[in-house]
Amino acid sequence: MTPTTIQLFAVHRGAQLTDSQMQKSLQTLPLEDQQRILRYRRWEDRQSGMLAAKLARKMLSDHLHVPASELQIRRTELGRPYLHGFAGWQGDFNVSHSGDWVFGGITTQGLLGVDVEGLREIEMEVSKHCYCPEERDELYSLDGAEQNAFFYVLWTMKEAYIKAIGTGLSTPLTSFGFDIPSLKEGKILLKDDSGVPQPQWHFQRYDVDDAYRFAICSDQQSLPGSITLLTRDEVLN
């Protein structure tokens, strides 16, 4: 059996592209992608959305040795992207963007979800809608920057999980959680809403930028130890 390979990539959004540069890049994407990207009101979000779409195609194109223009990426009813019409493909891919960063991953087998979030001030009331009691207790035991950072550690792992299973926010974030004693020991163990461990899911966190949190979730064990940084030109070209 061929071992599973997972690769992770990140690209910094960079300065604003000119209108002609943005238009040129958009024209290489399917109309559906173009329309979705142009719905963003801020140039930062449009540019990150475009880079995320380009990164997804680059990852698949490089792995499958197929021109990006020939790839058919479709979305489920819940909005999860997937590769359509490629015989023998048993893998998965996922992308995320927040602030200055675009983050993507591809696996040759199984399921994969990724998330990146920029650290910003939080309203702790939000935690009632996101975290289970054990997680909230730990969160409230912390202060200041430590509390803020832990909020996003949990958030990115939860987002990566619901992206891996393809349900998005239709799965309540309070319906699953992470074992706090395990987290304190540097281990990540998912539990369902009854507290039953779900060891078939594997997680990894990455340090790329102190102002951001990056996380991956997969049903495959062979998670990479680092993220490959790409230049913007490498993604656009």
Please indicate, yes or no, if residue 176 is contained in any of the structural domains: yes
Q: Token pair of 125, please?
A: 């009331």
Please indicate, yes or no, if residue 156 is contained in any of the structural domains: yes
Q: What is the mean pLDDT of the chain?
A: 96
Reported as a single tens digit per residue, the pLDDT across 181-196 is: 999 999 999 999 999 9
Structurally, the chain folds into a number of domains equal to 1
Please indicate, yes or no, if residue 82 is contained in any of the structural domains: yes
pLDDT of residue 87: 86
pLDDT for residue 1 is more than 60: no
Please indicate, yes or no, if residue 1 is contained in any of the structural domains: no
Please indicate, yes or no, if residue 157 is contained in any of the structural domains: yes
pLDDT for residue 2 is more than 70: no
Which residue, among 230, 207, 79, has the nearest Cα to 153 in the 3D structure?
A: 207
Reported as a single tens digit per residue, the pLDDT across 78-131 is: 999 999 999 889 999 999 999 999 999 999 999 999 999 999 998 889 999 999
pLDDT of residue 169: 86
Reported as a single tens digit per residue, the pLDDT across 207-230 is: 999 999 999 999 999 999 999 999
What's the start-to-end Cα distance of the chain, in Å?
A: 34
Q: Which domain holds residue 11?
A: 6-236
Q: What is the mean pLDDT of residues 157-174?
A: 95
- Residue found under tokens 């990724």: 114
Please indicate, yes or no, if residue 113 is contained in any of the structural domains: yes
Please indicate, yes or no, if residue 153 is contained in any of the structural domains: yes
Please indicate, yes or no, if residue 115 is contained in any of the structural domains: yes
Domain with 42 in it: what CATH number?
3.90.470.20
pLDDT for residue 177 is more than 90: yes
Reported as a single tens digit per residue, the pLDDT across 32-90 is: 999 999 999 999 999 999 999 999 999 999 999 999 999 999 999 999 999 999 988 99
With b for 16 or more beta-carbon neighbours within 10 A and e for fewer, the 178-214 pattern comes to bbbeebeeeebbbbeeeeeeeeebbbbebebbeebbb
Which helix (H) or strand (E) segment is 6 a member of? strand 6-12
pLDDT of residue 94: 98
pLDDT for residue 21 is more than 60: yes
